[in-house]
Amino acid sequence: MEKYEEIERSIITTYRKKIWTKFVKGIKEFEMIADGDKIAVCISGGKDSMLMAKCFQELKKHHKMNFELIFLVMNPGYNEENQQKIIENAKILNLPITVFETDIFNRVVNVEDNPCYLCARMRRGYLYEKAKELGCNKIALGHHFDDVIETTLMGMLYGAQMQTMMPKVCSTSHPGMELIRPLYYVKEENIIRWAKRNGMEFIQCACRFTEHYTACQNQDGRSKREEVKALIKELRKKYENIDINIFRSSQNVNLDTLISYRKGEKTIHFLDEYGKNKIY
């Protein structure tokens, strides 16, 4: 048996409950795939996107669904070592990747104000454009359960807003394109276990800033996401299901108890309707 076959098998056997079932659940519950879809599975080179790509291969193999896949790798300016690591891992995993080049890292390297935000926006824009050029109508990103709850808390603690990372989004800048997040229910700890069990090593963060730039960090040397990740880890020691509760909070919102909320461009304030339905 080839190594990639062992890795594939581990997804639907050893990690059937923790990864495979949750992957399928997210796709079904949020209706991420429809007949006739052509999906660009976007691979950054990290453990999350590589696992997502293998799950998609298994879905295509075992389910009678009419969709196409392109395993898309964008090179925003990786160093040679990271480039080769991605290519080598794709071969090991039997992933027929399509690689295209951009100069994003060079374009944002001297940006002082939120370079990471700008880089992320540009990378997504390039992925949309290349996917559309290849005839795709959707791009799939490897964000997982922990990314969702971290984003929710980051919005509250640092952005003074209540919002979450959505399982799928229609692009406003690329009409006809949609973004999906199939690992929405998969916890990062199980992705790490899957990678270690199969002896796979993936690039951690290919961003050039992590090598010799500190703009992504705050004063104590940790990014805001790392701070929130550490906070959740501490809270989990006292409250085992704290991550589940954070996740479910975005699905259990009582609008009657909010001071105000936004719907598109409109802001609705509780005083707008306050007292109109009084019962005397």
3-state SS string for 107-155: HHCCCCCCHHHHHHHHHHHHHHHHHHHCCCCEEECCCCHHHHHHHHHHH
Note the helical H segments in 143-241: 145-159, 188-197, 209-212, 224-238
How far is residue 125's CA from residue 123's CA, in Å, rounded to a whole number? Answer: 5
| Pairwise pLDDT comparison (147 vs 64), residue with the higher score | 147
Tell me if 179 sits within 8 A of 169, measured CB to CB: yes
pTM: 0.90
Q: Which two tokens stand for residue 182?
A: 């199939």
Q: What is the pLDDT of residue 116?
A: 74
Over 60: is that where the pLDDT of 213 sits? no
Q: Is 58 helix (H, G, I), strand (E, B) or coil?
A: helix
Least confident segment among 156-165, 186-195, 202-211, 254-263: 202-211
Task: Give the mean pLDDT of the chain.
Answer: 90
Give the residue among 195, 173, 258, 266 at the shortest CA–CA distance from 52: 195
* 3-211 carries CATH number 3.40.50.620: yes
In this prediction, residue 269 has a pLDDT band, given cuts at 50, 70 and 90, of very high
Over 90: is that where the pLDDT of 62 sits? no
Tell me if 77 sits within 8 A of 102, measured CB to CB: yes
Tell me if 23 sits within 8 A of 183, measured CB to CB: yes
Over 70: is that where the pLDDT of 228 sits? yes
Over 60: is that where the pLDDT of 208 sits? no
Over 80: is that where the pLDDT of 117 sits? no
Q: What is the pLDDT of residue 279?
A: 57
